[in-house]
């Protein structure tokens, strides 16, 4: 029996959420190491680092404010785009994932060709941060609005709580409850493991080849995008 890679990368498969979680942590580690301790997929982290920068390294604080503004505005734009795509019957999940890969490719090229970056407010730094934030806010919208039957790929606190609750519920006597709990453990556990692996591998690759390491998540997201059918997004239920 021959393995169909398109099936493995299809959006209905658990592997899709695991791959996107791997890429999310990989990208954030690259941003933390290379873009002056800046998160672009994890707004909680951005707020924490901003609070620290204001008192420790105030010259880096404006970059975190840029991320917050970029994330908010781009998320508004991506939500509006998804709604428009559903109403018009044009566009697809494939298009959105390939768009994310394209934004990350631009981020990689600007950052790698400009390295070492001159400072937190250098033009290349701001451009790289903006492109990465646009890409990761798009992934968050895709997971929230289209692939919401999977575990979130950037919210590991919530995933951990659901994993722990699944472990606890698995001790109950009801077989139905236990089956649901085991499913929850697998669903959230594999995403947490993939996210952690992405961070570890991202840190190692960044230490070896710098921003060119972004070729790993770019390649993976491109593969996932190309594996999706070119069918329009389903209209929202009334």
Token look-up 């994890």 returns 42
Burial (CB < 10 A; 0-12, 13-18, 19+), residue 77, is middle
Nearest CA to 69 out of 123, 119, 134 is that of 134
Whether residue 237 lies inside any domain: the answer is: no
CB 193 within 8 A of CB 225: no
**Residue 6's pLDDT is what?**
57
Q: Cα separations (Å) of 175 from 63, 161, 164, 172, 179? A: 51, 21, 18, 8, 6
Alpha carbons 147 and 15: distance in angstroms, whole number: 12
Q: Is residue 177 part of a domain?
A: yes
pTM, two decimals, is: 0.91
The domain containing residue 202 runs over which residues? 5-227
Could you tell me which residues are beta bridge partners of residue 92?
232
pLDDT at position 160, please? 81
Write the burial class of residue 120 (CB in 10 Å: 0-12 exposed, 13-18 middle, 19+ buried). buried
Mean pLDDT for 99-120 is 97
Q: Residue 63: inside a domain, yes or no?
A: yes
User: What CATH number is attached to the domain comprising 17?
Assistant: 1.20.1250
As beta bridge partners, residue 232 has: 92
pLDDT of residue 220: 97
Q: Is residue 219 part of a domain?
A: yes
Instruction: Judge whether residue 23 has pLDDT over 50.
Output: yes
Task: Flag whether 221 is in a domain.
Answer: yes
Statement: residue 24 has pLDDT above 50 = yes
Alpha-carbon distance of 151 to 132, in angstroms, equals 22
Q: Is residue 238 part of a domain?
A: no
Residue 120: inside a domain: yes
Q: d(Cα 113, Cα 10) in Å, to the nearest integer? A: 33
Residue 82's pLDDT is: 96
Q: Mean per-residue pLDDT for 160-188?
A: 75
Number of domains, the chain: 1
Share of the chain above pLDDT 90, in %: 69
Q: Quickly list H helices, 2-58.
A: 5-9, 14-34, 43-56
Q: Is the pLDDT of residue 237 over 70?
A: no
Domain assignment present for residue 93? The answer is yes
């Amino acid at each position: 029996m021959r393995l169909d890679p398109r099936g493995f990368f299809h959006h209905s498969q658990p592997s899709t959420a695991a791959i996107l979680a791997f890429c999310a942590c990989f990208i954030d580690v690259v941003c933390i190491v290379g873009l002056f301790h800046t998160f672009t997929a994890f707004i909680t982290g951005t707020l924490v680092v901003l609070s620290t920068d204001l008192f420790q390294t105030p010259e880096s604080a404006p970059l975190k404010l840029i991320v917050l503004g970029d994330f908010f505005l781009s998320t508004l734009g991506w939500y509006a785009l998804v709604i428009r795509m559903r109403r018009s019957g044009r566009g697809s999940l494939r298009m959105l994932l390939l768009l994310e890969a394209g934004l990350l490719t631009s981020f990689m090229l600007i950052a790698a060709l400009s390295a070492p970056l001159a400072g937190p407010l250098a033009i290349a730094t701001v451009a790289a941060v903006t492109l990465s934030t646009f890409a990761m806010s798009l992934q968050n919208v895709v997971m929230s609005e289209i692939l919401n039957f999977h575990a979130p790929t950037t919210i590991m606190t919530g995933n951990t709580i659901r994993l722990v609750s699944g472990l606890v519920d698995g001790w109950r006597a009801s077989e139905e409850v236990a089956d649901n709990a085991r499913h929850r453990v697998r669903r959230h556990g594999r995403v947490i493991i993939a996210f952690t692996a992405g961070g570890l591998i991202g840190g190692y690759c960044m230490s070896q080849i710098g921003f060119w390491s972004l070729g790993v998540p770019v390649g993976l997201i491109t593969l996932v995008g190309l594996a999706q059918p070119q069918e329009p997004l389903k209209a929202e239920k009334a």
